[in-house]
């Protein structure tokens, strides 16, 4: 089977492409490299011994996408490509709506032209909004608070409508919680541009002294130690979730929504301690005001994915910190 991985040189896409190749799938990667580097393809080859086909193509370029579908008989698409920085989406809403929504729509149009009707989409826990009780369950009402979140909601809706109009479409909506960790080889990992917004990439920059100190956004939340609680999941467990989703959809055509999280919450201070232990480095921190838009705590109810996909996250928080440290210490300047 040949899988087109959009966004396949990015963080989650590159780890998933590796897992797909190791599982015997043929992989074609498409990415415009706006937030990643072609070096990821070399790293994927180093790990797997197989080099995926790579197209530096933008979702805005329909003819470019058509030539991929002409060159390869694609059986399914795993769609990671998109812009993902929440704060930036508030500053640049048009860019986010254009890239994520128009881009995805064009991809789906090209898929339809070539009769490719199986898609796994990278959605996010952000679609649960601010008001649901925890843990989050797939059937809960969805909402958004920023343009990035609206793009996820809208793409989910587009795929639901496409499936409704033509049930031959097989759609997997995977809602990721907080992916961290890196490939155990140290060859692949998260390599964000500029100053990171998310917790683990920030801690990694502090650990290698590129940034002086972590700001912990609030220690007065109603959580065990007052700091924010999230459901951190190892990126290789997430990659495995995509393999299980592909297996499932071949046996059970239709549309499904799955949470991919561990079902456990970990606080910011617990992450800092776990990282210090895994790396042997001190992470200086200071308590800063709460970050606008943050909520105290959320984590997944992953029962559906565990029961239906037969997926079980394997990695602990200390494994995640070990692999992040291994990656950043081997690649202090990224890929």
By CB under 6 A, residue 58 contacts ligand NAD: yes
Sites for ligand NAD among residues 270-329 (CB under 6 A): none
Sites for ligand NAD among residues 59-78 (CB under 6 A): 59-60
Site string for ligand UD1, 122-161 (x = CB under 6 A): --xxx-----------------------------------
By CB under 6 A, residue 199 contacts ligand UD1: yes
Smallest separation, CB 71 to ligand UD1 (Å): 33
Contact with ligand UD1 (CB under 6 A) among 3, 17, 28, 86: 86
CB 25 within 8 A of CB 8: no
Residues 20-59 as b/e (b if ≥16 CB within 10 A, e otherwise) read bbebebbbbbbbbeebbbebbbebbeebbebebbbbebbb
Sites for ligand NAD among residues 164-203 (CB under 6 A): 176, 178-179
- Phi then psi dihedrals of residue 75, to 5 deg: -95, -35
By CB under 6 A, residue 11 contacts ligand UD1: no
Smallest separation, CB 99 to ligand UD1 (Å): 16
Smallest separation, CB 312 to ligand UD1 (Å): 20
Of ligand UD1, ligand NAD, none, which one does residue 81 interact with (CB within 5 to 8 Å by kind)?
ligand NAD
Contact region with ligand UD1 (CB under 6 A), list: 13-21, 108-116, 171-179, 245-253: 171-179
Determine the 3-state secondary structure of 177 from DSSP.
coil
Number of residues that bind ligand UD1 (CB under 6 A): 20
What is the spatial distance between Cα 39 and Cα 187, in angstroms, rounded to a whole number? 10
Closest Cα partner for 114 from 144, 173, 71? 71
Smallest separation, CB 271 to ligand UD1 (Å): 7
- Measured N-to-C along each axis, helices 103-113 and 62-71 cross at an angle, to the nearest 10 degrees, of 40
Is 148 an annotated catalytic residue? yes
By CB under 6 A, residue 124 contacts ligand NAD: yes
What is the spatial distance between Cα 259 and Cα 175, in angstroms, rounded to a whole number? 5
Sites for ligand UD1 among residues 246-285 (CB under 6 A): 268
Closest Cα partner for 136 from 265, 233, 312? 265
**Distant-in-sequence, close-in-space partners of 264: CB < 8 Å, separation ≥ 6:** 231, 299
**Distant-in-sequence, close-in-space partners of 243: CB < 8 Å, separation ≥ 6:** 19, 20, 23
Number of residues that bind ligand NAD (CB under 6 A): 27
CB 99 within 8 A of CB 82: yes
What is the spatial distance between Cα 3 and Cα 15, in angstroms, rounded to a whole number? 14
By CB under 6 A, residue 223 contacts ligand UD1: no
Sites for ligand NAD among residues 233-262 (CB under 6 A): none
By CB under 6 A, residue 204 contacts ligand UD1: no
- Pairing relationship of beta strands 170-176 and 229-230 according to DSSP bridges: unpaired
Smallest separation, CB 167 to ligand NAD (Å): 25
Determine the 3-state secondary structure of 216 from DSSP.
strand
By CB under 6 A, residue 328 contacts ligand UD1: no
Closest Cα partner for 146 from 154, 158, 138, 156? 154
By CB under 6 A, residue 55 contacts ligand NAD: no
Closer CB to ligand UD1, 52 or 228, in the complex: 228
Q: How many CB atoms lie within 10 A of CB 256?
A: 20
Q: How many CB atoms lie within 10 A of CB 186?
A: 16
Binding residues for ligand UD1, per CB under 6 A? 86, 124-126, 176-178, 197-199, 202, 214-217, 228, 230, 268, 291, 294
Residues that bind ligand NAD (CB under 6 A): 7, 9-13, 31-36, 58-60, 80-84, 99, 103, 122, 124, 176, 178-179
Catalytic positions: 148
């Amino acid at each position: 089977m040949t899988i087109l991985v959009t966004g396949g040189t990015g963080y989650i896409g590159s780890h998933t492409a590796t897992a797909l190749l190791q599982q015997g799938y043929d992989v074609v990667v498409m990415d415009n490299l706006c937030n990643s580097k072609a070096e990821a393809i070399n790293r994927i080859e180093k790990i797997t011994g197989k080099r995926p086909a790579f197209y530096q193509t933008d979702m805005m370029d329909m003819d470019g996408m058509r030539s991929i579908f002409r060159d390869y008989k694609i059986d399914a698409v795993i769609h990671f490509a998109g812009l993902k920085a929440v704060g930036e989406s508030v500053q640049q809403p048009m860019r986010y709506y254009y890239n994520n929504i128009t881009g995805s729509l064009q991809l789906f149009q090209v898929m339809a032209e070539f009769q490719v009707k199986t898609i796994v989409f990278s959605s996010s826990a952000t679609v649960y909004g601010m008001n649901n009780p925890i843990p989050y369950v797939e059937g809960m009402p969805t909402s958004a608070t920023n343009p990035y979140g609206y793009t996820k909601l809208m793409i989910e809706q587009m795929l639901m409508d496409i499936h409704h109009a033509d049930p031959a479409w097989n759609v997997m909506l995977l809602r990721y919680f907080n992916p961290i960790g890196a490939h155990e080889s140290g060859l692949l990992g998260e390599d964000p541009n500029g100053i990171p917004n998310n917790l683990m990439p920030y801690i990694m920059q502090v650990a290698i002294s590129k940034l002086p100190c972590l700001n912990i956004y609030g220690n007065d939340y109603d959580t065990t130690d007052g700091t924010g609680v999230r459901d951190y999941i190892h990126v290789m467990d997430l990659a495995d979730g995509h393999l299980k989703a592909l297996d499932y959809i071949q046996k059970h055509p239709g549309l499904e929504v799955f949470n991919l999280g561990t079902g456990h919450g970990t606080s910011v201070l617990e992450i800092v301690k776990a990282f210090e232990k895994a790396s042997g480095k001190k992470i200086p921190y200071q308590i800063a005001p709460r970050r606008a838009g943050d909520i105290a705590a959320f984590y997944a109810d992953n029962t559906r994915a565990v029961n239906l996909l037969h997926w079980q996250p394997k990695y602990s928080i200390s494994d995640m910190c070990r692999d992040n440290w291994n990656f950043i210490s081997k690649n202090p300047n990224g890929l």
